[in-house]
């Protein structure tokens, strides 16, 4: 009899008796996916002889891990001593009818399901362990909940199944994936993918995941280009012609997050028919139910996808178990016989079919698969292992609660009821063989770590999942995402890290401006304003440079400013200093000439002492301009303004005194003694100290309230820092100028009135012209001074000081020097009438 003929007489159930029995609803079979996306579903009862399309090791590993966990427990003297755990294994299918029939068979413990009936004299069925496919949890949960039969799910955590009103007997052992959206968004931010498409199943789970994902994306500034909900349907062949596929194909987003049931993955396969999958980056999670399809056939079309998976440790002893397990050891296991024959084309003696062909001497399942195990089922297998151990420990704790219960167990009348197990399942905590803490605490926030895999699919059937990073949600260092980008093999069509954005990135030196009516990820790039920079790509704002720096031409970084001031080695400063020194020498020379010819009538005229004072004040005026040149400090800032105000006040008040002297001299010739007394008493000389005292009082108030100080000007010249003297009180500064201007205007008015008085040495005309020059200079100074900035402003003030001083020196003393040097005969002219009136008294 051939092997296939032998299998026709074998029942597809798998059962081993024990003191207590666990039910395992596991996916034994898969069906291959073909390129036409045609799908066949089997609505076949287990008792009928059926040839399933495919039984491969990837599915059968669920059975092996179940057996391995039970054998560990039955060998352990610490868990359920003297009590054996048995099992009943059932194949789950996508058929609701078959699912309910299997559950009824488990409850009644008969081949033919009989509702509300059990053929056993005592209850041995204690719990059901299931989870894949996920539909089974919902379909069977309602029926099992009628009997309060504990159901432990090892599939991906589903928050919707936490509703105790509908699933009060269902417990989930998998960790919550509430941190998964954060990990996905962190990956998007790392690669700069701000324009992302989302494919989710059109159900409550997809809706909830989308809500959490959108919330996290909004916090991190990631925009959604497309949200496509895939209908939850068993008619997979209809997906190929779905109307939403063109939207996915035409989307400008290159990165897509995929979450949901297996039909979404089949949709992606349908997209492959449009030659699109090689031009998109797919980011998928481990929430996949591959129990109905051979993943290796489906993933043949993928290359370069990024895959979030729970970190899984290798279960100690499982590899050794795979080396020892064979059909002779478990002769009642029909499925193991099938897997063995499929792997080695033989069967062993002692099995139901007997020995068919001679098997290799080193044949073992270890060589078939652990290294080929698909990453998509790793977590489910580990959780299945933990679920079996958790139920065993809960049973152990329940039995230990009372010696009477244990005594009844020995007498084969344990009286244990499945519903009594619920509180023990919730309170049981254990540490498995790999050091992981296992419990059914469904309030756990999220998984402690995710691995990021890069799925590589090469010609010739070579498929390689490569770990390229990991995400730790609660990393104390704040570095939750770690990526080795150099290890990533991108999808075909990308030669470098792909770009997925609504707009092209803004280079440094530019900032983003959101386009009106579009998401924040759609933007235009504009250059940073004057004085601001951006040194990052896609900067939201530009930042001002520090006061000591200025932007470069590209406006992507700041350069240090040059500190400048009106220095002596500066051409402008050198010219002004030379001019000041030159006229100082000239003024000193004029003073020497006047002292040398002090007894000449032209020097004695109009009060010789006032001429000396005026020359000395003009000399100081020229020299005080040097205080405005050079690096400012506190002393020079105070001296330059105070000295300027006081010295010019002395000079102008001296001119005023000379003008008053001329007027008094001619008024004294008329009858009357008052004018003559004023002239002879030297009352005009008192003008100088009085005016100077008033100016000193103004300067004293200035120094006492808000004196000048050293300041920096960072705005006048963008690339320079100008060290200037801040005037402190602007009001006091203009009071000084105002008083000086008042004296100048009054002097000009008096000199103008005396300009036509006859006399050989009458200098009223020269005084008038000198004050006209003086007033013109300072009236011109005010608008020019306020229209300039920086060191030019200082230069304007120095120029005004020099120009006004030169005007006084030239207009008043140049004619006298002309007479002294070129017409010395006029010095002794005897035509001087009233000469003595002008002499010093």
In SS3 terms, 789-828 reads as CCHHHHHHHHHHHHHHHHHHHHHHHHHHHHHHHHCHHHHH
Q: 245: number of CA atoms within 13 Å, CB side?
A: 19
189 within a domain of the structure (yes/no): yes
List all residues 6 or more positions away from 468 whose beta carbon is below 8 Å from its beta carbon. Answer: 306, 452, 453, 454, 483, 484, 485, 487, 488
- Closest to 217 measured CA to CA, from 521, 540, 524, 523: 521
Whether pLDDT at 134 is above 60: yes
- Closest to 149 measured CA to CA, from 158, 157, 140: 140
The least confident of 109-118, 644-653, 673-682 is 673-682
What token pair was written down for 57?
């090791």
The answer to whether 743 and 687 are in contact (CB under 8 A) is no
* Residue-wise pLDDT tens digits, 235-271: 555 555 566 777 877 888 889 998 876 666 666 665 5
> Which pLDDT belongs to residue 676?
53
- Of 487, 519, 552, the last residue of a domain is 487
The least confident of 604-613, 620-629, 720-729 is 604-613
Output the domain CATH number for residue 327: 3.40.50.2300
Alpha helix segments (H runs only) across 419-569? 422-427
Whether pLDDT at 813 is above 50: yes
757 within a domain of the structure (yes/no): yes
498 within a domain of the structure (yes/no): no
Q: 74: number of CA atoms within 13 Å, CB side?
A: 17
Whether pLDDT at 375 is above 50: no
> Which pLDDT belongs to residue 74?
93
Same domain, 128 and 216: no
> Which pLDDT belongs to residue 684?
65
Whether pLDDT at 569 is above 70: yes
- Of 438, 471, 501, the last residue of a domain is 438
The answer to whether 521 and 221 are in contact (CB under 8 A) is yes
Same domain, 609 and 670: yes
210 preceded by cis ω (within 30°)? Answer: no
Same domain, 711 and 610: yes
220 versus 411: the higher-pLDDT residue is: 220
**Band of the pLDDT at 380, cuts 50, 70, 90?**
confident
Whether pLDDT at 819 is above 70: yes
d(CA 558, CA 568): 29
**Band of the pLDDT at 669, cuts 50, 70, 90?**
low
- Closest to 343 measured CA to CA, from 52, 57, 26, 7: 57
The answer to whether 597 and 660 are in contact (CB under 8 A) is no
Same domain, 9 and 130: yes
748 within a domain of the structure (yes/no): yes
Same domain, 52 and 119: yes
Domain that holds residue 431: 3-175+313-438
Same domain, 683 and 636: yes
> Which pLDDT belongs to residue 155?
78
65 within a domain of the structure (yes/no): yes
Same domain, 656 and 777: yes
Same domain, 529 and 388: no
Instruction: Give the count of domains, the chain.
Output: 4
The number of angstroms, rounded, from the C-alpha of 465 to the middle of its chain's C-alpha atoms is 31
- Closest to 587 measured CA to CA, from 579, 598, 597: 579
The least confident of 101-105, 169-173, 188-192, 724-728 is 101-105
- On average, the pLDDT of the chain sits at 77
Whether pLDDT at 279 is above 60: yes
516 within a domain of the structure (yes/no): yes
CB atoms inside a 10 Å sphere around CB 547: 12
Same domain, 688 and 783: yes
Whether pLDDT at 581 is above 90: yes
The number of angstroms, rounded, from the C-alpha of 119 to the middle of its chain's C-alpha atoms is 66
Whether pLDDT at 169 is above 80: yes
**Band of the pLDDT at 772, cuts 50, 70, 90?**
confident
Backbone conformation region of residue 559, classed left if phi is above 0, alpha if psi is from -120 to 50, else beta: beta
The answer to whether 294 and 31 are in contact (CB under 8 A) is yes
Q: Quick one: average pLDDT of 469-497?
A: 81
Q: Quick one: average pLDDT of 19-45?
A: 58
Same domain, 725 and 618: yes
**Band of the pLDDT at 653, cuts 50, 70, 90?**
confident
Same domain, 295 and 326: no
d(CA 235, CA 814): 115
Same domain, 697 and 818: yes
* Residue-wise pLDDT tens digits, 520-567: 888 999 999 988 999 898 888 999 988 888 899 999 999 998 888 888
Per-residue HEC secondary structure of 348-375 comes to CCCCCCCCECCCCCCCCHHHCCHHHCCH
Global pTM value: 0.65
Output the domain CATH number for residue 820: 1.20.1070.10
Place of tokens 């990073």: 469
Whether pLDDT at 411 is above 60: no
User: Is 476 buried (19+), middle (13-18) or exposed (0-12) by CB count in 10 A?
Assistant: exposed
> Which pLDDT belongs to residue 815?
80
* Residue-wise pLDDT tens digits, 694-720: 989 999 899 888 888 888 888 778 888
831 within a domain of the structure (yes/no): yes
790 versus 428: the higher-pLDDT residue is: 428
What token pair was written down for 457?
């699919």
Percent of the chain beyond pLDDT 70?
72
Which neighbouring-strand residues pair with 458?
462
Task: Report CA-CA distances (Å) from 455 to 315, 494, 785.
Answer: 23, 15, 74
> Which pLDDT belongs to residue 51?
38
Q: Quick one: average pLDDT of 456-471?
A: 74
The least confident of 480-494, 500-514, 693-707 is 480-494
**Band of the pLDDT at 293, cuts 50, 70, 90?**
low
138 within a domain of the structure (yes/no): yes
């Amino acid at each position: 009899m051939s092997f296939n003929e032998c299998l026709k007489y074998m029942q597809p159930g798998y059962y081993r008796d024990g003191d207590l029995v666990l039910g395992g609803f596991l996916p034994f079979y898969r069906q291959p996916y073909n390129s036409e996306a045609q799908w066949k579903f089997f609505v076949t009862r287990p008792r009928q002889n059926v040839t399933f399309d495919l039984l491969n090791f990837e599915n059968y590993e669920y059975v092996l891990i179940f057996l391995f966990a039970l054998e560990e427990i039955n060998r352990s003297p610490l868990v359920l001593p003297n009590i054996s755990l048995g099992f009943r294994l059932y194949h789950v299918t996508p058929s609701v009818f078959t699912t309910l029939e299997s559950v009824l068979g488990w409850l009644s413990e008969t081949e033919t399901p009989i509702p509300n009936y059990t053929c056993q004299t005592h209850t041995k069925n204690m719990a059901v362990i299931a989870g894949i496919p996920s539909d089974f949890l919902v379909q069977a949960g309602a029926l099992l909940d009628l009997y309060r039969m504990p159901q432990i799910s090892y599939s991906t955590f589903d928050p919707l199944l936490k509703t105790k009103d509908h699933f009060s007997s269902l417990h989930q052992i998998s960790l919550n994936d509430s941190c998964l959206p954060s990990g996905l968004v962190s990956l998007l931010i790392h690669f700069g993918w701000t324009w992302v498409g989302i494919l989710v199943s059109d159900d409550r789970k997809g809706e909830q995941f989308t809500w959490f994902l959108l919330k996290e994306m909004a916090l991190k500034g990631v925009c959604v280009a497309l949200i496509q909900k895939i209908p939850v349907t068993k008619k997979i062949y209809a997906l190929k012609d779905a109307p939403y596929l063109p939207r996915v194909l035409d989307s400008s987003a290159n990165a897509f997050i995929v979450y949901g049931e297996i039909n979404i993955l089949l949709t992606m396969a349908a997209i492959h028919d449009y030659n699109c999958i090689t031009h998109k980056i797919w980011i998928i999670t481990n929430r996949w139910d591959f129990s109905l399809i051979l993943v290796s056939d489906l993933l043949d079309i993928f290359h370069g996808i990024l895959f979030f998976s729970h970190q899984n440790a290798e279960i100690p002893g499982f590899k050794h178990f795979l080396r020892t397990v064979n059909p002779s050891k478990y002769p009642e296991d029909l499925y193991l016989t099938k897997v063995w024959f499929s792997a080695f084309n033989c069967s062993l003696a002692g099995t139901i079919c007997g020995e068919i062909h001679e098997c290799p001497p080193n044949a073992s399942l270890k060589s078939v698969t652990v290294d080929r195990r698909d990453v998509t089922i790793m977590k489910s297998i580990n959780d299945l292992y933990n679920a079996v151990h958790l139920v065993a420990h809960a049973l152990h704790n329940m039995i230990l609660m009372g010696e009477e219960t244990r005594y009844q167990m020995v007498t084969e009348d344990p009286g244990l009821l499945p519903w009594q197990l619920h509180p023990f399942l919730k309170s049981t905590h254990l540490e498995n063989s790999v050091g992981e803490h296992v419990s059914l605490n469904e309030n756990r926030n999220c998984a402690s770590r995710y691995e990021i895999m890069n799925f590589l699919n090469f010609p010739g059937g070579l498929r390689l999942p490569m770990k390229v990073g990991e995400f730790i949600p609660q990393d104390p260092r704040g570095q939750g995402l770690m990526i080795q980008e150099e290890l990533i093999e991108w999808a075909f069509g990308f030669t470098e890290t792909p770009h997925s954005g609504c707009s092209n990135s803004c280079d440094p030196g530019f900032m983003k401006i959101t386009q009106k009516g579009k998401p924040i990820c759609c933007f235009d790039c504009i250059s940073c304003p004057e004085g601001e920079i951006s040194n990052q790509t896609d900067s939201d704002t530009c930042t001002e440079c520090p006061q000591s720096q200025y932007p470069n031409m590209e406006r992507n970084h700041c350069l240090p400013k040059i500190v400048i001031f009106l220095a002596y080695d500066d051409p402008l400063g050198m010219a002004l200093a030379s001019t000041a020194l030159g006229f100082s020498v000239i003024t000193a020379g004029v003073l020497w000439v006047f002292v040398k010819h002090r007894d000449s009538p032209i020097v004695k005229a109009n009060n010789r002492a006032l001429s000396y004072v005026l020359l000395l004040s003009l000399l100081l005026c020229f020299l005080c301009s040097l205080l405005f040149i050079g690096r400012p400090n506190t002393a020079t800032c105070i001296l330059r303004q105070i000295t300027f105000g006081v010295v010019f006040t002395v000079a102008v008040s001296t001119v005023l005194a000379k003008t008053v002297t001329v007027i008094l001299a001619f008024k004294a010739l008329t009858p009357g003694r008052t004018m003559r007394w004023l002239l002879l008493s030297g009352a005009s000389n008192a003008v100088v100290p009085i005016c100077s005292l008033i100016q000193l009082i103004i300067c004293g108030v200035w120094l006492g309230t808000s004196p000048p100080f050293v300041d920096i000007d960072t705005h006048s010249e963008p690339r320079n820092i100008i060290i200037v003297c801040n005037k402190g009180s602007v009001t006091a500064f203009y009071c000084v100028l105002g008083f000086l201007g008042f004296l100048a205007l009054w002097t000009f008015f008096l000199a103008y009135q005396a300009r036509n008085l006859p006399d050989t040495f009458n200098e009223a005309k020269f005084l008038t012209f000198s004050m006209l020059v003086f007033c013109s200079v300072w009236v011109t100074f005010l608008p020019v001074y306020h229209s300039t900035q920086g060191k030019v402003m200082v230069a304007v003030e120095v120029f005004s000081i020099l120009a006004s001083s030169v005007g006084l020196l030239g207009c008043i003393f140049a004619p006298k020097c002309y007479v002294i040097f070129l017409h010395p005969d006029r010095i002794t002219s005897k035509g001087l009438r009233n000469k003595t009136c002008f002499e010093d008294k």
